[in-house]
Amino acid sequence: MDVSLVLPPEPDERWDLAKQVGVTSAVVHTLEIGDGSRPSAYETLSRWTERFADAGIDVAVLEGGVPLTDTTRLGRPGRDEEIEEFCTLLRNLGELGVPVVCYDWMAGIRWARTDTAVPARGGSLTTAYDDEAMRERPAPDVPDIAREELWANLEYFLERVVPVAEEAGVKLGLHPDDPPREDVHGVPRIVNSVEAYDRVLEIVDSEHNGVTFCQGNFAAMGVDIPETIRHFGDRINFVHFRDVDGDADAFVETWHDAGSTDMRAAMAAYRDIGFDGPIRPDHVPTMAGEENDNPGYETKGRLFAVGYMRGLLDGIDGAE
Ligand SMILES: O=C(O)[C@@H](O)[C@@H](O)[C@H](O)[C@H](O)CO
């Protein structure tokens, strides 16, 4: 397993911090840390990978900031061009040796929280979702779309991109809808259960059509985490390591070592399925001295998470 961190595409102190805690594998996610761009051009991507390589860091995943928008999710005119660009991205990443792309099928609203400053351990801050609070907000301006249309559009996408991913040697990991609900303020969601993933994985039966196992979302679904990891087995292409207390109606994100999930058993399950891909801490608490202007993606909590993950990995090494 390769413990990775989201790092900005341009070098800053976070590259050094990663290396100091022994992380030499990067996830580039420009929508969270970066300029929000969605590049596909070889020149841009190779500039990134070369710069990382010069610093002794491999790019393991391109996440979120990929050329895939609601044009494709909602099946609007222009989706064929967008899908073509996504295929160009896959070919270029394949050539550059970037093995995984993480994408999602959340139309209209990205991952959603109703509170981004919930007091946690020692005055740190975490995020929370409460569906009642969400419904009190102004209705989002998202065109009506039926659940089955979202499925049809996802099928259309996968049938076109998975063969290209296979040829390019790049694995796709579909991120769950966050929160994993039937809808968020009336906007339908489809990637919200183990059964939904079984359906996704059957659309194209290929190891290149896989899961981003965002643990906190599966915890919010209320499923048994180790059992679900074993259920998906070699179709897990990327892991987001995090936890929540609560369910998809209302939850609070927790410190990695303080939620309800048995994190050691989860690590053991990844080991048992032979998972050897990237695993990154996701959504960390904001700690003292940090501004909380990027909730979930500040720095200090991620350093703590890396140490905790490494400790768990050492602990299961050789254990039953
Ligand atoms: O929930 C998050 O923080 C992230 O995991 C998402 O930004 C996720 O990376 C994207 O939805 C993937 O496309």
> For residues 243 and 254, is the Cβ–Cβ distance under 8 A?
yes
Separation CA 150–CA 129 (nearest Å): 23
Tokens coding 223 = 């499923």
Whether residue 318 is predicted with pLDDT greater than 90 in this model: the reply is no
pLDDT in tens, 79-137: 999 999 999 999 999 999 999 999 999 999 999 999 999 999 999 999 999 999 999 99
CA of residue 214 to ligand 1 center, whole Å: 9
Is residue 43 within 8 Å of 37, Cβ to Cβ?
no
Alpha carbons within 13 angstroms on the beta-carbon side of residue 48 total: 28
Which pLDDT score, from 0 to 100, does residue 319 have? 66
Q: For residue 97, give its domain range.
A: 2-316
**How do residues 242-257 score in pLDDT, each as one tens digit?**
999 999 999 999 999 9
Q: Whose Cα sits closest to atom 2 in ligand 1? A: 111
pLDDT at residue 69 is higher than 90:
yes
Domain total in the chain? 1
Mean pLDDT of the chain, nearest integer: 97
208 Cβ contact partners less than 8 Å away, ≥ 6 residues apart? 162, 165, 166, 170, 171, 172
Report the pLDDT averaged over residues 293-301. 98
- Which residues are CB-contacts of 30 (< 8 A; sequence separation ≥ 6)? 9, 36, 37, 38, 64, 65
Over range 259-284, report the average pLDDT: 98
Residue nearest to atom 12 of ligand 1 (CA): 64
Q: Which of 30, 61, 111 is the best mutation target for the ligand 1 pocket, counting ligand atoms within 8 Å of the beta carbon and taking the most?
A: 111
What is the pLDDT at residue 143?
Answer: 85
Give this prediction's pTM. 0.97
Using DSSP's 3-state secondary structure scheme, residue 188 falls into strand
Please state the atom number of ligand 1 nearest to the C-alpha of residue 296: 3
User: What pLDDT shows up at residue 240?
Assistant: 98
> Which protein residue's CA is at the shortest distance from atom 9 of ligand 1?
64
Residues listed for the chain: 320
Beta bridge partners of 255: none
Report the atom number in ligand 1 closest to the C-alpha of 64. 13
Question: Cβ–Cβ contacts within 10 Å for residue 55, how many?
Answer: 15
> Which among 15, 99, 104 has a CA at the least distance from the CA of 62?
99
Looking up residue 186, the CATH number of its domain turns out to be 3.20.20.150
Please compute the mean of the pLDDT values over residues 299-307 and round it to a whole number. Answer: 98
Using the predicted structure, report yes or no on whether residue 64 has a pLDDT greater than 90: yes
**Which tens digits make up the pLDDT trace of 13-54?**
999 999 999 999 999 999 999 999 999 999 999 999 999 999
Could you tell me the maximum CA-CA distance found in the chain, to the nearest angstrom? 54
The neighbouring-strand residues paired with 240 are 214, 280
Ligand 1 mean position to 64 CA, how many Å?
6
pLDDT at 320 over 60: no
Angle between helices 147-168 and 79-96 (to 10 degrees): 30
Measure the CA–CA gap between 238 and 290, rounded to whole angstroms.
28
Whether the per-residue pLDDT at 287 is higher than 90: the answer is yes
List the strands of the sheet with 125-130, edge to edge. Answer: 115-119, 125-130, 250-253, 244-247
Contact between 95 and 108 (Cβ < 8 Å): no
Ligand 1 atom nearest residue 31's Cα: 7
